[in-house]
Copies of this chain bind each other. A is one copy, B any other.
Amino acid sequence: MKGIEPELIELLKQGWCTPQIARIAKSTHEPSTTIHYNIKRMETEKKIKAYKAVFDYQKIGQGFCTFVLINLSPGEYGNPEKIAKILAKHEQIESIDIITGDWEIIAKIRTKDQNEYYEFVKKALSMPGIAKTTSLVSFRQIKTEFVS
């Protein structure tokens, strides 16, 4: 046993997958070369960014999910993207968006547990420019990434 699983999870989260052309061809009753051609075109056009695995986050020790609503300090209203891009570098952040309304940024965060989340908040969200954060902790994830 080499404990290869964490490495595999990390790879499969980022990509390292590929479409099942033959299976899609059978399902759609199209020749596999037609499916191949169309998918490769979408890849070239950058419509498809990657192929990746979707995990049961409970089962891989990433079960704690929160949404953070962020208010920037007035001096940073001009470039919320700068702060969002810095935050995006953290692997715990699954998605981050610049938004309208009472907050400037919303981030979706995955950690092992409340403890790891607390450490993340201390480390990542204490940066200058962030005035206030509101955490919405997920009790139950009913649907994730289009996969029920």
Contact = CB atoms under 8 A, between A and B. Distances in A.
Given A95-B145, A143-B95, A53 B48 contact: yes
Nearest to A35: B8
A95 B67 CA distance: 12
Given A45-B59, A51-B51, A139 B100 contact: yes
B59 A54 contact: no
A7 B30 CA distance: 12
B51 A53 contact: yes
A96 to B, nearest CB: 5
Given A96-B142, A100-B136, 16 more contacts: A4-B30, A46-B59, A47-B59, A48-B56, A50-B53, A50-B147, A52-B52, A52-B147, A88-B142, A94-B143, A95-B141, A97-B138, A97-B139, A98-B142, A99-B137, A145-B145
Interface of A: 2, 4-5, 7-9, 11-20, 23-24, 27-28, 30, 34-35, 38-39, 42, 45-56, 59-60, 65, 67, 81, 84-85, 88, 91, 93-101, 103, 106, 108, 134-148
